[in-house]
Structure 1
């Protein structure tokens, strides 16, 4: 489904954000990417949907080399890849339903974009997606009247309405309280299990990565230093991923996780 071969990403300021990344993610996997701030987690995700261009190497999605795509081809790629952000990226002064319908706009003819006209089928798909994340009763509520967790669910519904094959989530629960974060993570797990969508998530909360993901990828300084099952993440693995962090001074695995998530 997603394959990196010797991928590097260098920014104009000379920062080498990704170094010789070799990685394969299969259809239906739930993958958590963890590491310190600046390790390259967000860059890795954003290369998958061409928000960032790779500098060298090969990156294929569903068998297509995406580094060579242009214009309409990139838009077609992104239709199959949903992106969830920490900041939700919603229009707060309009309803939940209208925010979800926004996801259809890129594929609409110009006249419908200008007039804001949506088909009955689009409205049906949007309402079904809202129902999938458990907030159908909020469909006609303005987004600015929702809690943070409900707003993140709106963002997830907008992505689901597009029927993507892959969901990329960039710190989706970083701004949420622990109880709400768990509810949102439950949504991701249910979508992964019931719909078979591939989920690749950059997440700061190590304990949630271990609890929800099938697989954990640990990045340090732009390099993969761990790639394995969540149950194989040990104290030593966390030390390697969070090199230079306070938790390296010793202590139990619980202390390592606590320090890594604070």
Structure 2
């Protein structure tokens, strides 16, 4: 379980990214996070893997207060929290399978890392992850020969290979055409249902958020202004989430 208790984030320039967030996320949930650009959606999900450290409050994951994690403990924690970015973050001139195998490097002995030696078990794990996102047939193709949607699937496979319990996705389909966006969202949904992984997706497309998510968190000016079932959200609520704060 992920638990936010009075969590706030203030950036060094004084911008308030999050304001007094209080909520709980149960294991296995599929949550869409919506709001205007700059509302605090990315800040919200990045506090969970400590890419953003909170300023006030308490953030616990599986009863561990993550703000106090340092060094090896923080690195081990981050292995359990996968992150998928809009820009894929792949190495373009190497093969698809080598990109996926790169996620296993932190768990490998230094000598094997230096020599680039992966075990049979590692390779099978990478191939299994690619199979889960229908990219097994592209395993030995150079990554820069793939379409945007295919690259995002490789990014997802790379994250799956590290066996996380939580998947965070920051605008994973923003650069994709509608058909491909649905295909990638189908992958997230299937992984959530088959593997039971908690999925939190910061998503610009409201229609996709409502279609795929069971729960919606709406953020406006750093505050959670809606937290509830996707099928109970109304146009009035959406209008409020996407309205500009007059105090800004």
TM-score by length of 1: 0.92
Gaps of 5+ in 2: none
SS at match of 1:244: coil
CA distance in 1, matches of 2:184, 2:47: 24
SS at match of 2:210: helix
Shift of 1:108: 1.5
Corresponding residue for 2:228?
228
List, as ranges, runs of 4+ consecutive aligned residues in structure 1 with deviation greater than 3 Å: none
Shift of 1:106: 1.4
Corresponding residue for 2:173?
173
Corresponding residue for 2:219?
219
For these two proteins, the number of residue pairs brought into alignment is 245
CA distance in 2, matches of 1:235, 1:137: 43
- Give per-residue Cα distances to partners, 1:123-182, cap 9 Å, x unaligned: 110000000100100000000110100000000000111111000000000000000000
Shift of 1:37: 0.5
Corresponding residue for 2:99?
99
Gaps of 5+ in 1: 246-262
Shift of 1:63: 1.2
CA distance in 2, matches of 1:102, 1:196: 24
- Give per-residue Cα distances to partners, 1:189-240, cap 9 Å, x unaligned: 0000111000001000000000000100000000000000000110111011
Corresponding residue for 1:61?
61
SS at match of 1:98: helix
CA distance in 1, matches of 2:15, 2:114: 41
Matches within 5 A, 1:25-64: 25-64=25-64
Corresponding residue for 2:203?
203
Shift of 1:244: 3.1
CA distance in 2, matches of 1:24, 1:227: 10
Corresponding residue for 2:120?
120
Q: How large is the RMSD of aligned CA atoms in angstroms?
A: 0.9
1:243 maps onto 2:247 in alignment: no
SS at match of 2:54: coil
SS at match of 2:129: helix
Corresponding residue for 1:188?
188
CA distance in 1, matches of 2:219, 2:226: 7
Corresponding residue for 1:260?
none
Corresponding residue for 1:156?
156
Shift of 1:114: 1.1
TM-score by length of 2: 0.98
SS at match of 2:94: coil
